[in-house]
Chains A and B, each alone.
Chain A
Amino acid sequence: MIQARGLRKTYSMGRNQVHALAGVDLAVAAGDCVAVMGPSGSGKSTLLNVIGGLDRPSAGSLQVNEREVSQLDENELAAYRRSTIGFIFQSFNLVSTMTALQNVEFPMMFANVSPRQRQRRARYLLEAVGLKARIDHKPTELSGGEQQRVSIARALSNLPRILLADEPTGNLDSHTGAEIMALLLRAQRESNLTLLIVTHDPAVAAYAGRIVHMKDGLIVENV
């Protein structure tokens, strides 16, 4: 599913160069659940963003579904993010003026899903994440855990193949974090998704079938 070879991302800070990714080799099969761990600044988020098509690698190759992502142009990259990837952020990133329902519908707008179908699917997903009673609530009227449930529903709306979650439990207490992890794993199993989770929490990593450790932009341990 995901095949990275010699993946590099270099930031130039004046005369200094920061190697956020210093040549990552990684293969993830479809339906795998992988936890990415490592110290702060080791390049975990960078790896996830490059895989998600939010950032372009400086060198190396990244193949997703046998397509070279680093070669895609702007529009193809947008289509890739829209149809292949579902993002889940640490800080939820919900649109504060939209209700839970509208937030889940939002990505489907860009995929040209009809309003009727959009609503039906958004309702179904919100129900599946246990928010049936919160459909018309705005993000400020929801708890952190509820907000993260909305964002999981949103990530699933366009039927992605890969879910990318960057510290999805980072802003939540351990109990709520465990609920969110259970939800993510359920979604992953039900749709046979590939799931990559960046986390500092060994308890969270324990849910994953596989743990990848990073240090200084390199994968140092692949269990």
Chain B
Amino acid sequence: MSTRDLLRLIWANLNRMRGRVALTAFGVVIGAAAVLVLVSLGAGLQRSAISSLGDIGELKKIYVMPSEMSDIPVMVTEPGGAPGKQGGGQGNKPRGLTQQRLEELRGVPGVAAVIPTEELMGGVEMKLGRAVGWSQIMGISLDDMAALGMQIVQGELSLLSGQMVVGARVHENFYDPIRGSNVPISNLLDETIILVAQRWSETGEMSERTLRLRVVGVLKEGGQSDYQVFIPQREVQKLNEWFTGKRIDRTREGYNQAIVVAQSTREVAAAQEQIRALGYQAYSAMDALASINSFFTILQAVLGGIGAIALLVSAFGIINTLSMAILERTREIGLMKALGARNRDVMSIFLGEAASIGLLGGLVGAGVGWGLSRLGNLVALSYMQQSGGGNPFGPADADIVYTPLWLILITILFATLVGLISGIYPALRAATLDPLKALKYE
């Protein structure tokens, strides 16, 4: 029997019991839609969680700090001390990331760049007109910004004295200090922002120091830098000296933090491992990525399993419908055999009918599931807008439910497979009917 004839015969048979086929396929529709929606939900949450980690550039970064617990065993020639003496840590030995240690980090395989960063050691407000804003203020050099792969969408990448570069979402964080309400600012480019550093003396007196900086560039959105403000490293150092009342000599003391940029995301895990082995603290978004991925793989398996149960139930519907069809068509099966049909032909016809019911249910179910996912996103979006909060798992505009193409295909395939497997028992029964008994069946 040719495949074309087989398909035609299957189609005709399904058509003649279309009422029952529709009802049976409806069970599959529910199962397939459930699988699609639930796994889409898992995939959407996973995507949101991953995108909240930032873009690829962010995933290549390893944040390195000196170990809190023990001193880093680096050979240091101390004044008055024996060369090569390890440990100690009496305060005279610097704990920070000195040039020597930065070089050590640069020597780790897979590392593309090591960028020491200067973080502020006290509170600093940003003032723009009457509006007040807060942001993480980072001291950095122009070269290092480029090495970090920072991209400008407005203005230029420049960090001369008196200039600053802001993250893509910094403009959202300005408030009216009296009313407490958000001050909408459309664009910070070319605005002059005044940084106000505050310090309390031991007697409780407050003193202020201001710094005027012009915004020359706005960074591309995506990742950690969205809410950060970048100013020349020297400016941060000066503010820190003012905060602490001490002169800071980074060449001697070293930095408190450095960003290590890996050559590629594949290098991150190994490089991070080695940096830790050298005795530093090292964190990266890849840590989170691995645990996010393993968590969501389990979540999707559980959600998919729940949907699969619905699909499993529909399998009994298919078995039932086919068993009834076989009873009704017993004489016809006998006839086919008398006319010379092989057991394999009879088997293929009933298997094909079962698989077609699965396929039909899978196609409609995938469509329904996709529609429900879209609807779910709309509802979630309007709910989030009402409650004022964003997507708690990621960017505010991202979908909660995400249906990748492979999921649609897998769902349809899976439903077809469920149909096919459900058909095995009835089809075997039909194929092995005794032709004579079948012909005499009333």
Q: Which residues of A pack against B, CB within 8 Å?
A: 49, 52, 54-55, 74-75, 78-79, 81-83, 85, 87, 89, 93, 95, 97, 106-107, 109-112, 115, 154, 158
Contacts and interface: CB of A to CB of B under 8 A. Distances in A.
26 contacts: A49-B436, A52-B338, A54-B337, A54-B338, A74-B343, A75-B344, A78-B341, A79-B342, A81-B337, A82-B339, A82-B340, A83-B340, A87-B339, A89-B439, A93-B331, A93-B335, A93-B439, A106-B339, A109-B1, A109-B2, A109-B5, A110-B1, A110-B340, A110-B345, A112-B1, A158-B340
B338 A87 contact: yes
Contacts of B344: 75
Nearest to B438: A54
Contacts of B336: 106, 110
Interface residues of B, number: 23
A112 B342 contact: no
Given A75-B342, A89-B439, A109-B1, 10 more contacts: A52-B338, A54-B435, A78-B340, A78-B342, A81-B337, A81-B339, A82-B339, A110-B1, A110-B341, A115-B4
A55 B340 CA distance: 13
B9 interface: yes
Contacts, number: 62
B38 to A, nearest CB: 40
A-B pairs, top 8 by smallest CB distance, nearest first, are A82-B340, A107-B339, A78-B342, A81-B340, A110-B341, A109-B5, A54-B436, A110-B340
Contacts of A82: 339-341
Interface in B1-28: 1-2, 4-5, 9, 12, 16
Given A54-B435, A87-B338, A97-B12, A78 B5 contact: no
Contacts of A112: 1-2
Contacts of B337: 54, 78, 81
A110 B342 contact: yes
B19 to A, nearest CB: 15
B329 to A, nearest CB: 9
A113 to B, nearest CB: 9
Secondary structure at chain B's binding surface: helix, strand, loop or mixed? helix
B241 interface: no
B332 interface: yes
A55 B337 CA distance: 11
B332 A95 contact: yes
A95 B5 CA distance: 16
A124 B298 CA distance: 65
A52 B340 CA distance: 11
A49 B342 CA distance: 17
A111 B12 contact: no
Contacts of B338: 52, 54, 81, 87, 93
Nearest to B340: A82
A154 B335 CA distance: 12
Contacts of A109: 1-2, 5, 9
Contacts of B345: 110
A110 B435 CA distance: 16
A94 to B, nearest CB: 9
A107 B343 contact: no
B165 to A, nearest CB: 73
Nearest to B432: A74
A71 B4 CA distance: 33
Contacts of B341: 78, 82, 110
Contacts of A158: 340
A168 to B, nearest CB: 15
B100 to A, nearest CB: 83
B39 to A, nearest CB: 40
Contacts of B331: 93
Interface string B425-442: 000000000011001000
Contacts of B2: 109, 112
B387 to A, nearest CB: 59
B343 A78 contact: yes
A147 to B, nearest CB: 13
Given A93-B335, A97-B16, A111 B340 contact: yes
Interface string B332-357: 10011111111111000000000000
Nearest to A97: B16
A115 B4 CA distance: 10
Contacts of A81: 337-340
Contacts of B1: 109-110, 112
